[in-house]
Amino acid sequence: MHGNHTGLFVKGKMIERGLTQIKLARDIGVSHTRLSQWMNGHDIPSDRVIRKVAVKLDLDFEELRLKVEKERYQRERDQLHRKYAEILPADSE
C-alpha cells in the first residue's frame, strides 16, 4: 500500500504554522480522532473537510483535493490487486 503522502504534506504545513492536530481539528469542526484517521491514511475526508483544511493552512483547495483523490485511487487499486491475487491462481511452471 502507498504511504499517506497527503497526511504528511498537511502535517508539514501544520508544523510550519505551529498547529497541532487537536487545534486544527477544533478549528475545522471535526474530532481529533477523525482528523487523525485521515492524516494516517485510514479515512478519506469529505470535500467540505478538505476545503476547511485548505483555508486554515492557506493551501489551494483543488491541489489538496487532487492529492486526496490520487491516494484514494491508489488505495482502491491496491485493494483490487490483493483481491485478484487471492482469487486467481499463481502461475506455476
Residue pLDDT, tens place only, 17-75 = 999 999 999 999 999 999 999 998 888 899 999 999 999 999 999 999 999 999 888 88
Q: Mean pLDDT across the stretch 3-25?
A: 92
**Grid-cell match 469542526, residue found:** 29
pLDDT band of residue 91 (cuts 50, 70, 90) is low
Query: Rounded CA gap, 65 and 74, in Å?
Result: 14
Look at 2 and 44; give whichever has higher pLDDT.
44
Integer distance in angstroms from the first to the last C-alpha of the chain? 28
CATH number of 5-87: 1.10.260.40
Q: Give the pLDDT confidence score for residue 1 in this predicted structure.
A: 41
Residues with Cβ within 8 Å of residue 34, at least 6 apart in sequence: 25, 43
Domain boundaries, the chain: 5-87
Q: Give the pLDDT confidence score for residue 81 in this predicted structure.
A: 87
